[in-house]
Amino acid sequence: MQSRRNILACIMGNILEWYEFSLFAYLSPIIAQLFFPSDNKIVSLLSTLLVFAAGFVVRPIGSIVLGHLGDRFGRAKTLKITIFLMSISSVLTGLLPTFSQVGVLAPILLIFCRLLQGFCIGGEFAGSMIYLSESAHGKHRAFISSMTNNGSNLGVLIAIVACAYMTSVLGPEQVTQWGWRALFVSGGILGIIGLWLRRDLNESETFIQLQ
């Protein structure tokens, strides 16, 4: 039972983290207007997409660094760190000042938040997959291990639904002013819930035996 609860917490955390991560992609047109204003909308959007891509660049670094920490100090501890930092970066993104308020500092802060998100995702995806594999037993090992990818896909789907709902109930001006911020802040809150689910996450028997 304890093992099943740990697996559930791991899957839920993965869903919540990918929800937060995916928001940036679907809110790119709005972020482009606020952080990379330009007479050429294509240039503005491309600048935003480059920031989005930066998160993928640091993912391998996150996998290496957090993977090493997971091997040394435990998968459970590392998974708690990744979801906590992801929550912080999501909330910070929702609270960032725009280019019209602080100038070039705005995109710099946005890039920092994006890099932090990507770094955490690198550790989360690899760490959760290893944790699930070590926690599963017998014939269900492959099925349970696949939940990492399925959880990621579900997180992306939830982000799409959330963005679609926001744009359907709010006007363009409301979305630009505070709607996009609400999604990032709510993502951080969801991340905190995921952290609460992981509060009693225990190391797998396989990891303990390897120490």
How far apart are alpha carbons 114 and 193 in whole angstroms?
21
pLDDT of amino acid 192: 84
Domains in the chain, please, with CATH? Answer: 2-210 (1.20.1250.20)
How far apart are alpha carbons 101 and 28 in whole angstroms?
19
Q: pTM higher than 0.85, yes or no?
A: yes
pLDDT of amino acid 11: 78
pLDDT of amino acid 1: 46
Average pLDDT by stretches of 10, the chain with 211 residues: 68 80 88 91 89 90 90 87 90 94 94 92 84 77 77 88 93 92 89 84 74 69
How far apart are alpha carbons 132 and 11 in whole angstroms?
9
Check if the beta carbon of residue 175 is closer than 8 Å to that of residue 30: yes
Q: Phi and psi at residue 40, in whole multiples of 5°?
A: -100, 105
147: burial class by Cβ within 10 Å (0-12, 13-18, 19+)?
buried
How far apart are alpha carbons 66 and 69 in whole angstroms?
5
How far apart are alpha carbons 89 and 95 in whole angstroms?
10
pLDDT of amino acid 94: 94
